[in-house]
Structure 1
Amino acid sequence: MAHSDYSFPKSDRLCSHILIEKLFTEGNSFICYPFRVVYHATELPDETNSQVLFSVSKKRFKRAVHRNLLKRRCREAYRLNRNEFNTFLKETNQQIIFACVYISGEQQSYSSIQKGIKKSLIKLQKVLSEESDHATD
């Protein structure tokens, strides 16, 4: 089932405990403030090319309402900026799971979160294209 660009369906979310464990044990990461991006190329069961997880530390944000607000902002920024990234994955025939871990100590505005998501996706795309270039050598 193809979904519209205006939704964030379950198939695009990283929910599998097995995959999440694999991501954090075998994955690579980089920091693109205000996020630490952990990624791992893997086979995904669905027709989707990427699954994403957003995480906000309970240690830094004690109140659930603040954590949820930040995760909502992250999801929305990703939903609006993922098209180019997903197109790249389709063209290069890659499947990836990744997590955006929010590392800032204070609540960022939506616009700065959106900038961070855009930067992270661009950097992730660059890293993946470099890795796929090395794999073909």
Structure 2
Amino acid sequence: MLHSKMHGRRKFVKKERLCSKKLIQELFSKGSSFFLYPYKVIYLPVDNAEEQLPHQVLVSVSKRKFKHAVDRNLVKRRIKEAYRLNKHIISPKLDQNVSFLIAFIYVSPKLLPYNEIEPKLKSAMSRLLDTGL
């Protein structure tokens, strides 16, 4: 188990969750997107010169594809954990005055294991870096 200063920074706190209905609506109406199986990623760069906001993330899993809430919640937990452990990929390399609103929409009809979800999320975040700048 890691017991370092880095371990304390690997949290997925409330400020990093996209909860505001206004911002979610703005993300879906004005945001750009790309598809990288099993995700559709929608992102919107936001200028935050007046306050240092972290990137805000939304995770969505279709009720139509996963009828049972336990399955939807399991997929969301796996995606959030993969993001929490790998958010450093997008954090230090971006301009400090811009943060992203990001939606990870899980589109696979299958319940994928964590060892398949994490590498795909890493490559989606790398692609976000390439397209978002």
- Scaled by the length of structure 1, the TM-score of the pair is 0.86
Q: Which runs of 4+ in 1 moved over 2 A?
A: 43-49
Q: Secondary structure at the match of 2:91?
A: helix
Of 8, 22, 28 in structure 1, the residue corresponding to residue 26 of structure 2 is 22
Question: 2:46 aligned with 1:78, yes or no?
Answer: no
- By how many angstroms is 1:92 displaced? 5.5
Q: Which runs of 5+ in 2 are unaligned?
A: 1-7
Q: Which runs of 5+ in 1 are unaligned?
A: 130-137
Residue of structure 1 equivalent to 2:74: 69
- By how many angstroms is 1:5 displaced? 2.0
- Scaled by the length of structure 2, the TM-score of the pair is 0.88
Q: Which has the higher helix share?
A: 1
Question: How large is the Cα RMSD of the aligned pairs?
Answer: 1.7
Identity of aligned residues (%): 39
Whole-angstrom CA distance in 2 between matches of 1:23 and 1:11: 16
Whole-angstrom CA distance in 1 between matches of 2:24 and 2:51: 16
Whole-angstrom CA distance in 2 between matches of 1:5 and 1:56: 27
Q: How many residues align?
A: 126
Q: Secondary structure at the match of 2:42?
A: strand
Of 123, 126, 129 in structure 2, the residue corresponding to residue 125 of structure 1 is 129
Residues 52, 97 of structure 2: 8 Å contact kept: no
Q: Secondary structure at the match of 1:105?
A: coil
Q: What amino acid is aligned across from residue 96 of structure 1 in structure 2?
A: F
Residue of structure 2 equivalent to 1:10: 14
